[in-house]
Amino acid sequence: MTPQTWIFLGYFAVVFGIGWYSLRATRNESDYWIAGGQLGWFTGGATMAATHTSAGTFMGVIGVMYTAGWSFGWVLVSIPLAYWFMVAVLAPRFTRQKELTIPAFIETRYYGKGIRGLAAGIILIAAIVYIQAQIVAGGLIANTVFGIPTTWGMIGFTAILLAYTVIGGMVAVVYTDAFQLVVMTLGALFAVPLALRQVDGLGALLYLVESAHPLVFTWETMPAALLFTMGLSFFLGGIATPEKLIRLYAMKDMKTIRRGVLFAIVMILALNLLVMVLALSTIVLFPSLPTGDLAMPMIATAVLPATLGAIMLAALTSAMMSTVDSLLIVAGSALSVDIYQNLIHPEVSPKRRMWVDRIGILVVGSTPVALLLSGVGEGDLVQFIVLLFTALMAAAFVLPVVGGVVWRRATREGAAAAMVGGVTATFAWEAWGAPSVEPVLCGFLASAALFVGVSLVTPPPPARALAPYFDDVNPADPA
């Protein structure tokens, strides 16, 4: 067998080993969905960083910079700002009462099962969109490494993901994420110096890349409005994406959260910097690729030695898997806990709940592949699919989640209107709006207007809904 095959077999063996260990460590639903709420700063920060560092980083960022130049790199500055806001503003109140899912928080704060089901439905739809992008990346990797058709690669990677996620839940996801973050970091650290050697160093790279792509260091390749709204999408989506929010519940306390998120910020910035250097190298080395999403696989196969190339592709695989497994957790819990157990069959026995939980993940994980095989979601750059997901999450959850813990006048009706109106406006702009403006702007503005406006004209929330998040509220007070 080739070095690539051995490295990938070893990688998958470690992943399955972690899954088997996690099965033994998972005793109840709290373990399955939030790792018992006892993660330390390293595992909590590592899983947050790995979840963020998806195929959107290793393929998407490189793909867009290959096409548009360095201007897209400035969008990434919004990411550490989002994490700072999460720790400084949101987490101190949001984590006072731990829940198993984000829709469960919505039910507690907005005093209704129906709005919990609405939030779960939105998470399901948006997660499937995002998972599709990662699965497409997995298919491209399998085609590059093993020479199998992309379709079979998508099916194979999904099967591996489902195996360890279904078995071990959040415990499996957390420890595989920590392992995958190590693989991603090693892959990028190996790749950058070898790519620079191919172009005679960083100084030569900056000269050659401008010759190959004269607009690479200008602001002319992407409209300013598009860059701004992309940054807004990453900022708002970074605050409120459920797979990140749920990690706040998984960590032990605020001290742990602060350290973990700081560690995540450092790792995310370091990986993004390395990826941007690889993007510029790819413009010089492969100036005529049909799509920017092929840039990273080309670096791994044509620039790096076979063994290091396999490590780089394993890093790309890790990026894809560490995001999809986290999305499977939040989407699977939305289906099995928030919709099935909460709305359809609330009397399900505790003994059967773990089976229902695992079936939920299996259903959610199989759906994106089925859609891709039927032709739905093919052909878009990975990063633009990622941006649509973040726009949907920003439109649906920033105001209900952040507003819910900082504004006591927020009501159930206002939150529901914000979620429905924000998602509708996002999809409408994606379909018919100006391509130079990301749909997040329209979706977020619609969500904000509805959240505030409807909350002010509806009865104030009861004290029991405010008490978990506001110190001076007595839950026994009348509504």
Domain borders along the chain are: 3-379
End-to-end CA separation in angstroms for the chain? 69
Query: How is residue 210 written in tokens?
Result: 């401008």
CA distance 398 to 106: 12
CA distance 174 to 135: 20
Three-state DSSP state, 147: coil
164 residue type, one letter: Y
- Report which of 156, 33, 64 is spatially closest to residue 386, judged by C-alpha positions: 64
242 residue type, one letter: P
Q: For each of the chain's 479 residues, which pLDDT tens digit applies? A: 666 677 777 877 888 788 777 877 777 788 888 888 889 999 999 989 888 876 667 766 777 787 777 787 777 778 888 999 999 999 999 999 999 899 999 999 999 889 999 999 999 888 887 787 777 777 777 776 677 788 888 888 888 888 888 877 888 888 888 888 888 888 888 888 888 888 888 888 888 888 878 877 888 778 888 888 888 888 888 888 888 899 999 999 999 999 999 999 999 888 888 888 888 888 888 887 776 667 777 777 777 777 777 777 777 777 777 777 888 888 888 888 898 888 888 777 766 777 788 888 888 888 888 877 776 555 554 556 667 777 888 899 999 999 999 999 999 999 999 999 999 999 899 888 888 888 889 999 999 999 999 999 999 999 999 999 998 776 666 55
* Residue in the block written with tokens 């927020």: 410
Q: How far is CA 206 from CA 70, 173, 226, in A?
A: 11, 39, 25
Q: Are 354 and 29 in contact (CB under 8 A)?
A: yes
Long-range CB contacts (< 8 A, 24+ apart) of 142-146?
144/297, 144/300, 144/301, 144/313, 145/4, 145/5, 145/8, 145/310, 145/313, 146/4, 146/5
CA distance 408 to 124: 28
Q: Are 12 and 138 in contact (CB under 8 A)?
A: no
The C-alpha angle 52, 30, 172, rounded to 5 degrees, equals: 50
CA distance 464 to 479: 8
CA distance 398 to 407: 13
pLDDT at 409: 94
CA distance 271 to 421: 35
* Residue in the block written with tokens 């009501």: 411
- Report which of 281, 92, 326 is spatially closest to residue 289, judged by C-alpha positions: 281
Three-state DSSP state, 39: strand
176 residue type, one letter: T
Q: What is the pTM of this model?
A: 0.85
Phi, psi of 197 (to 5 degrees): -65, -35
CATH architecture of 3-379: Up-down Bundle (1.20)
CB crowding 221-250: b at 16 or more within 10 Å, else e: bbeeebbbbbbbbbbbbbbbbbbbbbbbbb
pLDDT at 383: 55
- Report which of 403, 422, 339, 443 is spatially closest to residue 124, judged by C-alpha positions: 339
pLDDT at 3: 67
393 residue type, one letter: M
Q: CB within 8 A of 177, min separation 6: which ones? A: 46, 47, 50, 51, 322, 325, 326
